[in-house]
Amino acid sequence: MTANIFDDLPADGATLARLHERLERSADVDGVLDVAYRTIDTPVGTLLLAATTVGLVRVAYDIEGHERVLAKLADAVSPRILRAPARLDAAARQIDEYFAKRRKAFEVPVDLRLADGFRRTVIEHLRDIAYGQRESYATVAAAVGNPRAVRAVGTACGHNPLPVVIPCHRVVRSDGSAGQYVGGPLAKSTLLGLESAGRE
Amino acid sequence: MQVRPFEDVVAEHGATVLRVCRAVVGPVDAEDAWSETFLSALRAYADLPDDANVEAWLVTIAHRRALDVGRARSRRATPTDAMPDRPAPHADPAARDPDLWAALQRLPTKQRQAVAYHHIAGLPFAEIADLLDNSPDAARRAAADGIKTLRKIYQKDQTS
């Protein structure tokens, strides 16, 4: 037998795209879409947004490696993951509005299952730091009742599963310098700059 | 080795499974069969063993779902021996290699399945035999006979 007669068939890109959309919808309706994700372009690069049926579970910067983040979600949450933008519509719109300075607080359900223990406590506290405000790592440590845990607060911020939406970028060094950030120093200064420019 | 996100499975195997579906149930029902296949696969995905051959697993599901789609069609449609020569108008232009898919529909079922599972999906005959409930030799013969007929019909169609 010579060449496979099926080798010359045209590509099915349009059909497969349509079938993928149909799969996204029926998987969601059937309750088997454990994690839906999409990406969104922002001034701080392309962000990956992922949501469970509970809420937004992960926001990830490019430099974290989106493939790696998805593989970790498959492990930590469920491998039943699809690129399915519909579930992220509200989150994506609000992030757009935030970068356009038309929004100061996010109002989307969140799923904090990726943060537990002390990290969870820190993450919960970060949600109370308002737009345009800053707190030092030491202040956060004191606020969560463990003033000596400054370094652990830094680690917790570095493992924030929802950067941008949960504002770990508002936690800075006591000397006023920005400090480290999961999205890189440039992203942190961009966010802080954006918010201080918006202050009245 | 951890289980990959299901999105990777769709990206990697979606096109092959679509061709298998077109070959087995015809271009008209192929999209339903594909959708049923991947929805069933997603449902069962968390239980898939780490060392499983994902494409073979998908083809097995497609084989069963194709039977379901076929049964649904025979329930709702007036029985007809001949498949339509052309795909439905809404079918994607890429699906219209009309003569090849039409030619496949003229093969006996087991030949069509053996051709699809071996020549499109690359399954070994031992596994195809399990699906077709026959022997590896019979599966091999079915595929060979199918291809032989297909070349005859298809090439005639192409030159006509």
- Give the pLDDT means over successive 10-residue stretches in chain B (160 positions): 88 95 90 96 90 92 84 62 46 55 90 95 95 96 94 68
Percent of chain A residues topping a pLDDT of 90: 88
Q: Which pLDDT value is given to residue A3?
A: 56
Q: Which pLDDT value is given to residue A90?
A: 97
Using alpha carbons only, give the angle B152, B153, B157 rounded to the nearest 5 degrees.
120
Q: Which pLDDT value is given to residue B60?
A: 94
Q: What is the dihedral of CA A181, A186, A187, A188, to 10 degrees?
A: 50
- The amino acid at residue B83 is M
Give yes or no for a contact between B112 and B24, defined as CB atoms under 8 angstroms apart.
yes
Average pLDDT over residues A129-134: 96
Question: What is the domain class of A117-197 according to CATH?
Answer: mainly alpha
Using alpha carbons only, give the angle A90, A92, A98 rounded to the nearest 5 degrees.
100
Q: Residue with structure tokens 């780490």?
A: B50
Structural fold of domain B6-159 = Butyryl-CoA Dehydrogenase, subunit A; domain 3 (1.20.140)
Paired tokens of B107: 């093969």
Q: Which pLDDT value is given to residue B46?
A: 85
User: For residues B157 and A129, which has the higher predicted lDDT (pLDDT)?
Assistant: A129
Q: Which pLDDT value is given to residue A48?
A: 98
How far does B129 lie from chain A, in Å, by closest CA? 21
Domain A14-99: CATH architecture, name and number where available: 2-Layer Sandwich (3.30)
Give yes or no for a contact between A55 and A109, defined as CB atoms under 8 angstroms apart.
yes
Q: Which pLDDT value is given to residue B102?
A: 85
CB atoms closer than 10 angstroms to residue B105:
19
The answer to whether residue A60 scores a pLDDT higher than 50 is: yes
Give yes or no for a contact between A167 and A190, defined as CB atoms under 8 angstroms apart.
no
For testing contact with chain B, the best of A29, A32, A48, A77 (most B CBs within 10 A): A32
The answer to whether residue A192 scores a pLDDT higher than 90 is: yes
Q: Residue with structure tokens 């006996």?
A: B108
CA-CA distance, A110 to A1, in Å (whole number)? 57
Paired tokens of A167: 């504002």
Q: Which pLDDT value is given to residue B66?
A: 83
CA-CA distance, B70 to B60, in Å (whole number)? 15
For testing contact with chain A, the best of B24, B34, B38, B42 (most A CBs within 10 A): B42
CA-CA distance, A183 to B88, in Å (whole number)? 49
Using alpha carbons only, give the angle A5, B149, B99 rounded to the nearest 5 degrees.
55
Q: Which pLDDT value is given to residue B124?
A: 95
Q: What is the pTM of this model?
A: 0.87
Average pLDDT over residues A141-166: 96
Closest in B6, B147, B154 to A81, CB measured:
B6
Q: Is B99 an 8 Å CB contact of chain A?
A: no
Q: Is B71 exposed, middle or buried (0-12, 13-18, 19+ CB in 10 A)?
A: exposed
Q: Which of residues 55-114 of A touch B (CB under 8 A)?
A: 70-71, 73-75, 78-83
Q: Is A85 exposed, middle or buried (0-12, 13-18, 19+ CB in 10 A)?
A: middle
Alpha helices in chain B (DSSP H): 6-25, 27-44, 54-76, 98-105, 109-115, 125-132, 136-159
3-state helix, strand, coil in chain A (%, to 5): 45, 15, 40
The answer to whether residue A23 scores a pLDDT higher than 90 is: yes
Please count the residue pairs, one from chain A and one from chain B, whose beta carbons lie less than 8 angstroms apart: 100
Question: What DSSP character marks residue B47?
Answer: G
Instruction: Flag the least confident range among A58-72, A79-93, B143-157.
Output: B143-157
CB atoms closer than 10 angstroms to residue A174:
11
What is the pairing mode between strands A35-42 and A45-51? antiparallel
Give yes or no for a contact between A119 and A140, defined as CB atoms under 8 angstroms apart.
no
Q: Residue B132: which of A141, B141, A177 has the closest Cα?
A: B141
ipTM of the complex: 0.91
User: For residues A44 and A10, which has the higher predicted lDDT (pLDDT)?
Assistant: A44
At A45, which helix (H) or strand (E)? strand A45-51
User: For residues A112 and B101, which has the higher predicted lDDT (pLDDT)?
Assistant: A112
Q: Which pLDDT value is given to residue B77?
A: 57
The answer to whether residue A42 scores a pLDDT higher than 70 is: yes
The answer to whether residue A5 scores a pLDDT higher than 80 is: no
Cβ within 8 Å of residue B128, ≥6 positions away: B113, B114, B117, B118, B136, B139, B143
**Residues forming a β-bridge with A81:** A35
Question: What DSSP character marks residue A36?
Answer: E
CA-CA distance, A88 to B118, in Å (whole number)? 40
Instruction: Please state, in angstroms and as integers, the Cα–Cα distance from residue A188 to each residue in A6, A18, A140, following that order.
Output: 52, 38, 17
Task: Give domain limits for chain A.
Answer: 14-99, 117-197
Task: Give domain limits for chain B.
Answer: 6-159
